[in-house]
Amino acid sequence: MADFILNWSDAPAGWDWAAQDEDGRWFWYAVAPQLGIGGGVWRAPSRAQQYAGQGQPNTAWHDTLRQRPG
């Protein structure tokens, strides 16, 4: 499977954050997410989180937080 490529033009307007969970799933965030206490996931209020795509599992998931460029 090819790895998911984050494309900011696909992000909802005003959603300026993205991050990948350990299982490879990427999400858009309307607010800056926080590292999940249990590990492996980013956390934000459910209404501020939207699935963006599936990538490869990533043990360095905690280094994937991105802010919209510009």
pLDDT tens digits for 27-63? 999 999 999 988 899 999 989 999 999 999 999 999 9
Of 1 and 9, the one with more pLDDT:
9
Rg (CA), the chain: 11
44 phi-psi bin (left φ>0, alpha ψ -120 to 50, beta other): beta
Domain ranges of the chain: 13-57
Helix/strand/coil for 35: strand
First to last CA, the chain: 31
pLDDT tens digits for 11-26? 999 999 999 999 999 9
pLDDT number for residue 3: 82
